[in-house]
Amino acid sequence: MQSLHAAFEWLFSDRSLAPATWGLVLVTALLVLDGARKSREQKRQWDEERKLRQEEAKPSAVVEIVVKEESPLDMRFAVFNLGRNSFFIDRMIVRASDGTRSESDLTPSVVTPGTWVTIDFDPKVLLGVFGENTQFKEASCEFLLKGAFGTVATEPEWFYVTYGRDRTLWYKGRLSESRLPGVIAPQPKVIKRSEA
């Protein structure tokens, strides 16, 4: 009982003021350190969420070579929007195997989620103005898509062209793969009149 009385007396005397002050300083320092740790953790979480939102907002598309049912000899590219956000098609870049590059500004076409847009392409431009390139010529096409958070390039879509009797012949896929034994050449998707 006497020890309890001595403890109370010490707590309320001037002798306990210094240890109590140092105790408060220590507790305050620990609270400040914990607050700084939680603040860094919250900032990291917000940064991750912002990056995730930006990744989700980037255009997501697939490019396919297509033909229309009524004009199966004409070559077209279809850009399908697979993402959740609209984007517009800014440019078409065609790179040939011989190093030539053709870049076309397109009339901006807005592609909303779940829809697609077709873009005509004349494969004769790869063979020369006067048809001087009569060999097969391989090329790839990619599109630059602009969305809310920047520009994205699509995966290249490969094709090859040559001159036929009275017209340009074009084929989907890579020339090197088409010459392998037993390979069936990929066929372009056919767009029916009601879909165009």
User: Are 169 and 109 within one domain?
Assistant: yes
CA angle 120, 148, 142 (to 5 degrees): 30
Integer angstrom CA distances of residue 26 from 9, 21, 22, 23, 31: 24, 9, 6, 5, 9
- Summarize the confidence of residues 167-181 as an average pLDDT: 72
User: Of the ranges 1-5, 42-46, 154-158, 169-173, which one carries the lowest mean pLDDT score?
Assistant: 1-5
Are residues 146 and 119 located together in one domain of the fold?
Answer: yes
Q: Which residue matches tokens 């297509």?
A: 66
> Residue 12 — very low, low, confident or very high, per pLDDT cuts 50/70/90?
low
* Cα separation, 104 vs 141, whole angstroms: 11
| Whether pLDDT at 41 is above 60 | yes
State the chain's maximal CA–CA distance in angstroms: 117
Mean pLDDT, residues 160-176 taken together: 77
- Do 133 and 168 sit in the same domain of this protein? yes
- Cβ–Cβ contacts within 10 Å for residue 151, how many? 13
Both 86 and 118 in one domain: the answer is yes
Structural domain contains residue 147? yes
Residue 196 falls inside a structural domain = no
Residues 187 and 90 in one domain: yes
How many domains does the chain contain in total? 2
- Report pLDDT digits (tens) over 65-121: 887 766 667 888 989 998 888 898 988 999 988 888 888 877 778 899 989 888 888
Note whether residue 28 is domain-resident: yes
| pTM (2 d.p.) | 0.65
pLDDT of 60: 81
Task: Give the per-residue pLDDT at 150.
Answer: 80
The pLDDT score that the predictor gives to residue 182 is: 59
Q: How much is the average pLDDT of 15-36? A: 79
Higher pLDDT, 196 or 174: 174
Residue 49 has pLDDT above 80, yes or no: yes
Which structural domain, as residue segments, surrounds residue 64? 59-191
- 66/146 same-domain check: yes
* Claim to verify: residue 118 and residue 185 sit in the same structural domain: yes
Determine the Cα–Cα distance for residues 82 and 114; give it in Å rounded to an integer: 6
- Is residue 113, in this structure, part of any structural domain at all? yes
Regarding whether 76 and 14 lie in a shared domain, the answer is no
Domain identity same for 83 and 106:
yes
pLDDT of residue 7: 63
156 and 71 share one domain: yes
